[in-house]
């Protein structure tokens, strides 16, 4: 596909009527929904509902999918989203591994890929990879430019969402990741709408979508990896602070006279210093230098520091040293999580990232610690989950963020 700039199609004008947007929102959150149910939920008259549904069907954004079960009268007409009406790309920009996914309008995943973020993965090179992949998938899946709703990005913060910029993230392997105008770079080269939010928020959007029939009003998402990332949602709406707050959970002070943060910008005794991939690697290597025995000595070349994948391999071998350190880090994480629960009182908490996906020990130690230290327990019950989408949650949620712009 040629790389020329094309005129963007305004996402918010694809469904111009407010009533049509409300109906489409209700239909999109169901696999199928009957006209009678839409009549009840919308509060519209029969004639207005019929007219608006006919408009949506005529535009090709929804379709009639059959007849439902009769409750005494005629069998109701069922409606569903027409998946091939449009498509959205979801991009996860993270420090270690980044991902791109392609969803259709119904939220079904059509394709996915990932990249390791190396010392050569500068913003410019990375964006070129994304642009090439977008073009390749559009050819592969026979997607016309007019069918592309846009691209959502879930990125490491801090961010400026209003101008679409990744501001000053830490710990990328490659240089150049400060003040990256990600939205402008991709909109200019692809000619499609692009929207940016932090990765914890987009992961929470994905998990909220997966739980859309469960009616959870208050949810949290915490990502445990190189750093700690947090997203919050109430009544299916993300909570955005005055500034990007993705990294705020990691700066929670749990020991006022504790260890210094790994950079000069952080707090002494911050949770991130005790309960992140960085913290586990630091503690393991410190103990190895003091002469502690571990299977890591057989796994690593002489003099090489232990990295997180090596540590997880030792954990699977039930290495006592690694088990002790991971348990300690998970306990600290659980204390921080309990502080969040006592303030926010969510109904469900999704825990993602390599600390959770690579280690059942970390997940269960952290959640049990949090439960024991939660105020009003056992009266207050919270559901913990590793989520539905795993490591793809950030990218899938980013695509869903773009699709949700249709009803804004």
For residues 59 and 209, what is the distance between their CA atoms, to the nearest angstrom?
24
Three-state DSSP class for residue 112: strand
pLDDT of residue 5: 52
- Which DSSP symbol is given to 305? P
Segment 348-357 shows an average pLDDT of 94
- Other beta carbons within 10 angstroms of residue 368's beta carbon come to 14
Angle at CA of residue 224, ends 182 and 329, nearest 5°: 150
**Which of 162 and 236 is assigned the larger pLDDT?**
162
> What CATH number labels 214-387?
3.30.420.40
Rounded mean pLDDT, 264-284: 95
> What is the longest distance spanned by two Cα atoms in the chain?
79
- Tell whether the model's pLDDT for residue 242 goes beyond 90: no
Q: Is the pLDDT of residue 71 over 90?
A: no
Q: Which two tokens stand for residue 114?
A: 């990932």
% of the chain surpassing 70 pLDDT? 98
For residues 314 and 318, what is the distance between their CA atoms, to the nearest angstrom? 6
Over the chain, what is the mean pLDDT? 93
**Among the listed ranges 13-22, 66-75, 143-152, which one has the minimum average pLDDT value?**
66-75
Classify residue 122 as exposed, middle or buried by CB count within 10 Å of its CB (0-12, 13-18, 19+).
middle
Q: What is the band of 57 on the pLDDT scale with cuts at 50, 70, 90?
A: very high
Q: What is the pLDDT of residue 48?
A: 96
Would you state the pLDDT for residue 6? Answer: 61
Q: How confident is the model at residue 389 (pLDDT cuts 50, 70, 90)?
A: very high
Average pLDDT (301-318) is 93
pLDDT per residue over 89-127, tens digit each? Answer: 999 999 999 999 999 999 999 999 999 999 999 999 999
Sign of the dihedral defined by the CA atoms of residues 122, 123, 128, 131, in that order: positive
Q: Would 86-206+393-407 and 214-387 be classified into the same CATH topology? A: yes
b/e map of 238-275 (b: 16 or more CB within 10 Å)? beeeeebbbbebbbbebeeebeebbeeebbebbbbbbb
Cβ atoms within 10 Å, residue 119: 9
Question: Among 305-319, 328-342, 374-388, which stretch is predicted with the lowest mean pLDDT?
Answer: 374-388
Could you name the CATH architecture of 11-81?
Orthogonal Bundle (1.10)
Contacts of 290 (CB under 8 A, 6+ apart): none
Per CATH, the architecture of 86-206+393-407 is what?
2-Layer Sandwich (3.30)
Q: Which of the four pLDDT bands, split at 50, 70 and 90, describes residue 1?
A: very low
Give the start-to-end residue ranges of the domains of the chain.
Answer: 11-81, 86-206+393-407, 214-387
């Amino acid at each position: 596909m040629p790389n020329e700039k094309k005129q963007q199609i305004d996402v918010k004008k694809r469904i111009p009527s407010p009533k049509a947007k409300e109906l489409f929102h209700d239909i999109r959150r169901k696999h199928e929904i009957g006209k009678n149910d839409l009549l009840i939920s919308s509060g519209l008259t029969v004639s207005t509902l019929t007219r608006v549904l006919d408009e949506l069907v005529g535009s090709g954004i929804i379709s009639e999918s059959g007849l439902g079960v009769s409750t005494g009268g005629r069998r109701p007409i069922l409606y569903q989203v027409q998946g091939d009406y449009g498509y959205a790309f979801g991009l996860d920009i993270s420090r270690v591994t980044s991902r791109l996914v392609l969803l259709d309008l119904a939220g079904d995943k059509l394709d996915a890929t990932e990249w390791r973020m190396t010392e050569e993965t500068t913003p410019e090179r990375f964006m070129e990879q994304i642009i090439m992949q977008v073009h390749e998938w559009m050819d592969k899946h026979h997607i016309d430019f007019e069918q592309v709703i846009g691209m959502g990005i879930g990125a490491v913060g801090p961010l400026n969402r209003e101008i679409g910029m990744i501001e000053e993230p830490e710990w990328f392997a490659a240089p150049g990741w400060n003040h990256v105008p990600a939205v402008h770079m991709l909109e200019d080269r692809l000619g499609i709408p692009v929207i940016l939010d932090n990765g914890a928020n987009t992961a929470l959007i994905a998990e909220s979508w997966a739980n859309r029939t469960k009616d959870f009003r208050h949810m949290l998402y915490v990502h445990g990896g190189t750093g700690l990332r947090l997203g919050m949602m109430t009544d299916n709406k993300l909570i955005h602070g005055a500034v990007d707050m993705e990294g705020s959970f990691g700066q929670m002070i749990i020991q006022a006279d504790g260890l210094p943060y790994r950079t000069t910008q952080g707090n002494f005794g911050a949770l991130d210093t005790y309960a992140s991939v960085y913290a586990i690697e630091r503690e393991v290597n410190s103990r190895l230098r003091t002469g502690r025995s571990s299977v890591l000595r057989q796994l690593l070349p002489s003099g090489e520091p232990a990295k997180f994948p090596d540590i997880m391999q030792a954990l699977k071998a039930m290495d006592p040293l690694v088990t002790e350190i991971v348990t300690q880090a998970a306990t600290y994480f659980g204390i921080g999580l309990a502080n969040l629960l006592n303030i926010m009182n969510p109904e469900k908490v999704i825990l993602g990232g390599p600390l959770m996906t690579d280690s059942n020990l970390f997940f269960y130690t952290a959640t049990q610690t949090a439960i024991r230290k939660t105020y009003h327990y056992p009266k207050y019950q919270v559901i913990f989950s590793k989520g539905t989408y795993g490591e793809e949650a950030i990218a899938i949620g980013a695509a869903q963020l773009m699709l949700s712009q249709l009803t804004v």
